[in-house]
């Protein structure tokens, strides 16, 4: 056990994450083409190439790149004609999941999370379905696949649409296919803090005619011949962002490997002292390192003490979305509220050394055992 009083803080701050990026040189090589072509946006060659490369990487043919993961959800709702009524969702997520529903003038209906998987509890969905229910918008929390088969069964029974917010889940496969193949539409985020990033960015994954509608909607409602055929918005990714994606994409496997090593290091040291999320085996990407403390007090004590050592884990997701009164009138979701009060995401990113991870884990152990 390390002695907290005789341990030096880290020289520079260690935040919960840092963007995983290519070398500036490899980015600039792609940018050179953009400057030569003079094409900076409008679904140009780099965006098209990025979509192709992402499809190759994921084993899909459904990728439509957009400006961010929030607009991706808004377009998904619109493309499925969900413009009013109730959308069942989880309170244990980032605010964007819920605000996308509200922004599209629908009513989010919260179903509590499962205390082990952290995802929406499929057993509690049916009891909130009413004649106004249009869709289920679930989140693969920290890349852990939702109970997709059970959700599909419910959706078929009640004729509901299913959207998955896969902002965390890039590269995850479930039952031998990309997790983004499940549901009517899946979305993801390429934000700088996500596993694979384009600075800001995201994608919608849709099939057939629905994919064409999504492409039209991100582009003011144009068809490929520039005829206006629908009501759209502007969700186009720029060529400059697509270049960053093209340069970053080849790093993805090594980024996952590194985060896996970080996760294993934390788990080995923290062992039984904290609780871990129960993942679907081999179907997650290690992009987050969530731990659950026994009590909210222990959680806060760790945050407060680690601060003095220049380490900044993040209370994420916190607060539970059902408790944000400016968003929606409170409905109780005791499990999500409880998870939020005890969860911390620990630092995990590509160039965090395993020695630093060991030190952070040992600091947490010492804080948990420090009775003083
Ligand atoms: C990051 C995130 C989003 C939003 O993605 P942006 O690209 O930042 O708009 C949505 N949902 C979840 C769960 C996220 O973590």
Mutate to test the pocket of ligand 1, among 96, 235, 345 (most ligand atoms within 8 A of CB): 96
191 Cβ below 6 A of ligand 1: yes
Query: Is the predicted pLDDT of residue 27 greater than 70, yes or no?
Result: yes
Taking the CA of residue 190 as reference, the ligand 1 atom at the shortest distance is: 7
93 Cβ below 6 A of ligand 1: yes
Cα distance between residue 147 and residue 145, in whole Å: 7
Distance (Å) from CA 62 to ligand 1 centroid: 19
139 Cβ below 6 A of ligand 1: yes
pLDDT per residue as tens digits for the range 192-215: 999 999 999 999 999 999 999 999
Higher pLDDT: 166 or 225? It is 166
Taking the CA of residue 189 as reference, the ligand 1 atom at the shortest distance is: 7
- In order of their start, the domains of the chain are 4-19+251-369 (3.90.1150.10), 24-250 (3.40.640.10)
pLDDT of amino acid 146? 98
Residue (of 349, 352, 343) closest to 113 by Cα position: 343
Own/partner long-range contacts of 321-328 (Cβ < 8 Å, ≥24 apart): 321/90, 321/91, 321/92, 321/93, 321/95, 321/97, 321/98, 321/108, 321/110, 322/91, 322/110, 323/91, 324/95, 327/95, 327/98, 327/99, 327/102, 328/98, 328/102, 328/108
Mutate to test the pocket of ligand 1, among 137, 191, 218 (most ligand atoms within 8 A of CB): 191
Distance (Å) from CA 358 to ligand 1 centroid: 29
pLDDT per residue as tens digits for the range 98-144: 999 999 999 999 999 999 999 999 999 999 999 999 999 999 999 99
Percent of the chain topping pLDDT 90:
98
Cα distance between residue 315 and residue 346, in whole Å: 9
Query: Is the predicted pLDDT of residue 255 greater than 80, yes or no?
Result: yes
Q: What would the two tokens of residue 359 be?
A: 């030190």
Lowest model confidence (mean pLDDT) among 107-111, 166-170, 366-370: 366-370
pLDDT of amino acid 371? 64
92 Cβ below 6 A of ligand 1: no
| Rounded average pLDDT over 252-276 | 97
Which residues does 294 contact at the CB level (< 8 Å), separation at least 6?
274, 275, 342
* pTM value surpassing 0.85: yes
Phi, psi for 195 (deg, rounded to 5): -50, -50
Residue 33 buriedness (CB in 10 A; 0-12 / 13-18 / 19+): middle
Taking the CA of residue 194 as reference, the ligand 1 atom at the shortest distance is: 1
pLDDT of amino acid 87? 98
Taking the CA of residue 93 as reference, the ligand 1 atom at the shortest distance is: 13
pLDDT of amino acid 370? 87
321 Cβ below 6 A of ligand 1: no
pLDDT per residue as tens digits for the range 231-240: 999 999 999 9
Query: Is the predicted pLDDT of residue 309 greater than 80, yes or no?
Result: yes
Distance (Å) from CA 203 to ligand 1 centroid: 11
pLDDT of amino acid 54? 98
CA atoms within 13 A on the CB side of 324: 19
């Amino acid at each position: 056990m390390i002695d907290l009083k005789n341990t030096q803080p880290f020289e520079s701050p260690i935040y919960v994450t840092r963007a995983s990026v290519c070398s500036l040189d490899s980015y600039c090589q792609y940018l050179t083409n953009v400057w030569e072509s003079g094409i900076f946006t409008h679904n140009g060659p780099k965006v098209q190439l990025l979509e192709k490369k992402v499809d190759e990487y994921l084993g899909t043919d459904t990728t439509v790149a957009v400006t961010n993961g929030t607009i991706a959800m808004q377009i998904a709702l619109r493309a499925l004609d969900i413009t009013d009524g109730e959308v069942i969702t989880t309170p244990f997520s980032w605010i964007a999941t819920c605000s996308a529903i509200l922004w599209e003038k629908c009513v989010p209906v919260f179903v509590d999370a499962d205390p082990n998987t952290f995802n929406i509890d499929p057993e509690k969905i049916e009891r909130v379905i009413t004649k106004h229910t249009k869709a289920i918008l679930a989140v693969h929390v920290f890349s852990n696949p939702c109970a997709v088969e059970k959700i599909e069964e419910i959706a078929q029974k009640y004729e509901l649409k299913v959207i998955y917010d896969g902002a965390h889940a890039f590269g995850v496969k479930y039952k031998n296919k990309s997790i983004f193949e499940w549901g009517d539409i899946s979305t993801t985020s390429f934000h700088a803090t996500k596993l694979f990033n384009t600075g800001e960015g995201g994608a919608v994954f849709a099939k057939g005619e629905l994919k064409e509608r999504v492409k039209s909607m991100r582009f003011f409602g144009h068809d490929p011949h520039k005829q206006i055929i629908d009501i759209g918005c502007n969700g186009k990714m720029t060529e400059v962002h697509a270049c960053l994606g093209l340069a970053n994409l080849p790093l993805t496997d090594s980024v996952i490997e590194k985060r896996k090593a970080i996760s294993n290091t934390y788990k080995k040291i923290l062992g039984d002292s904290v609780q871990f999320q129960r993942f679907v085996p081999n179907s997650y990407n290690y992009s987050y390192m969530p731990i659950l403390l026994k009590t909210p007090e222990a959680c806060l004590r760790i945050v407060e003490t680690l601060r003095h050592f220049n380490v900044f884990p993040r209370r994420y997701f916190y607060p539970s979305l059902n408790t944000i009164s400016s968003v929606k009138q409170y409905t109780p979701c005791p499990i999500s509220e409880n998870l939020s009060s005890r969860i911390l995401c620990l630092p995990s990113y590509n160039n965090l050394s395993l020695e630093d991870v060991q030190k952070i884990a040992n600091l947490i152990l010492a804080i948990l055992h420090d009775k003083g």
